[in-house]
Amino acid sequence: MRLSDTSRLMAPKAAPLSDFALLMRRLHIDGPLLGGLLLICGFGLFVLYSAVGESSRLLVNQLIRLGIAFVAMLIVAQLPPGFLRRWTPWGYLAGVVLLVLVLLKGDVGQGARRWLDIGVRFQPSEAMKLAVPMMAAWYLHDRQIPPKLTQLLMIAVMIVVPTILIARQPDLGTALLIAASGVIVIVLAGLPFKVMIGLGLAAIPGALALWNFMQDYQKQRVLTLLDPDSDPLGAGYNIIQSKIAIGSGGLFGKGWTNGSQAQLEFLPERDTDFIFAVLGEEFGLFGVLTLLALYLFVIGRGLFIAVQAHDTFSRLLAGSISLTFMVYVFVNTAMVTGLIPVVGVPLPLVSFGGTSMVTLMAGFGILMSIHSHRKLLPH
């Protein structure tokens, strides 16, 4: 694999590339990654059209968001990793300042303070999804790896500060995902297994502390998971209906736009967090396995890019972006199938709604940049 990849990159000297391949190289696009992403988005649009009750306006909305997200990816792909690295600390600092501003004077939407109005309305917590792993990778870039304990503490602070600021908004789901993206960097940097196990044990009292941090509705979600029937109209209803939808889909599903659970509105939030259940109902096990395979392909390609990367920053960052994407996929699918409590995490690239899509695609833009800006050093 590695050899073939190297030879492909060396190819221009050996054999002329086709015009298309040349264009892709010039635009710093990674073909396999782009292909995987397009397949996921295309499949997702089909499912979404059915989930929104065949509303063409909402479908066009989603298409526009996807378009913006792909443009963001393309732009980020043009920025060399070295450039990204130099600007990382400033971006991170600006992000933390913006998070503080949000808490002080942000716009309130749906009971939480997440938006900031600086000409355009935007969520600083979105930018932090990339800024936190970038900061951790930047810090480790010119240090000995695996990191020493004091260095680990430094990184812990870099992760914990934005996490707490976001949790205070309150947006516990995003806060935990951002913390995860930072922790992944540390693990990839070679955190000793002993420390990992130790931290795992220490996480138990941490989880208890978290329980106290939770809002009532969040506690309710955890309790509902244990006994969905206790709240058939509230949070439990979602899980019950979602399991019926997926289960009734069987091997090949009820057919596109024919899912009675989704179409007859038994399934709540079917176009956003619970869209995976629509997929399961209308396309069956065959459909969900196809989507999971596409996700795994994209994640695998991301990890491959990480292994191929030429410097510490790129390596750690590419690994973290890929594995964080994995966390999104797992959390959403596990929640919709009733394995973990309902946390508001959308199915990446498929769920309706756009704020997180741009961040996600910008992340893939970084992966493409890392892969396409490598200098071809002989090993």
Partner 1 sequence: MSALLSSIKDIHSERRVFLSRVILASVVSILLVGVVVARLVQLQVVDHELFAEKSQGNRVRIEPVPPIRGLIFDRAGRVLAENLPAYQLELVPEQVADVEETLERLAAIDLIAAEDIPRYLELSRSGARFKPVTLKFRLTDEEIANFAIQRPRFPGVDFRPRLVRHYPHGEEIAHVVGYVGALSTRDMERLDTASYAGTSHTGKTGVESSYESDLHGDAGYRHLVTNARGRQVPSDTNDLLDSATFSNLSPTPGANVHLTIDLDLQRIATRAFTDRRGALVALDPRSGEILALVSAPSFDPNLFAVGMTTSQFRGLQDDPDRPLFNRAVRGAYPPGSTIKPMLALAALETGATNLTRKTICRGYFQLPGNEHRYRDWKPGGHGPVDLHDAIAQSCDVYFYEVSTELGIDAMHEYLDRFGLGSGTGIDIGGERRGLVPSRDWKERAFSGDHKRWYHGETVIASIGQGYMLATPLQLAAAAGTLAMRGARFRPHIVAAVEDPLTGERDPVTPERLDDVGIDNETHWNAVVGAMHDVMQGPRGTARAVGTGAPYEMAGKSGTAQVVSIAQDEEYDDAELEERQRDHALFIAFAPLEDPRIAVALIVENGESGSGVAAPIAREIMDAYLGYADDAS
Binding site for partner 1 (CB under 8 A): 52-58, 109-110, 142, 144-146, 184, 187-190, 233-234, 243-251, 260-261, 263-266, 280-281, 284-285, 288-289, 292, 296, 299-300, 303, 306-307, 312, 315-316, 319, 323, 326, 329-330, 333-334, 337-339
How far is Cα 156 from Cα 164, in angstroms, rounded to an integer? 12
Provide the 8-state DSSP code for 283. Answer: H
Minimum distance from CB of 339 to partner 1 (Å)?
6
Query: 76 — phi, psi (to 5°)?
Result: -65, -35
Smallest distance, partner 1 to C-beta of residue 337, A = 5
Q: Which is nearer to partner 1, 87 or 266 (CB)?
A: 266
Cis bond leading into 124, ω under 30°? no
Q: Which of 97/307 has CB closer to partner 1? A: 307
CB of 96 to partner 1, least distance (A): 27
Which is closer to partner 1, CB of 100 or CB of 199?
Answer: 199
Q: How many helices and strands, by DSSP H and E, does the chain display?
A: 15, 3
Sole residue written with tokens 């009675």: 260
Peptide bond into 232 cis (omega under 30): no
Q: Which lies closer to partner 1 via its Cβ, residue 87 or residue 330?
A: 330
Cβ atoms within 10 Å of 296's Cβ, excluding its own: 13
Q: What is the per-residue DSSP string for 241-269?
A: HHHHHHHHHTTT-S-TT--HHHHTT-STT
- For the sheet with 112-118, list strands across it: 107-109, 112-118, 120-122
- Considering the complex, state which of residue 36 and residue 284 has its C-beta at the smaller distance from partner 1: 284
Shortest distance in whole angstroms from residue 372 CB to partner 1 = 20
Residue 108: helix, strand or coil by DSSP? Answer: strand
For partner 1, which is the closer residue by CB, 65 or 243? 243
Quickly count: other Cβ atoms within 10 Å of residue 136's Cβ.
Answer: 30
CB of 261 to partner 1, least distance (A): 6
CB of 25 to partner 1, least distance (A): 25
Closest among 226, 236, 245 to 339, alpha carbons compared: 226
Q: Which of 378, 335, 359 is nearest to 127 (CA)?
A: 359
* Minimum CB–partner distance for residue 256 and partner 1 (Å): 15
Pairing assessment for the beta strands 120-122 and 107-109 based on DSSP bridges: unpaired
For partner 1, the closer CB: 151 or 248: 248
Q: Which is nearer to partner 1, 136 or 246 (CB)?
A: 246
d(CA 242, CA 269): 10
Output the smallest distance, CB 329 to partner 1, in A: 8
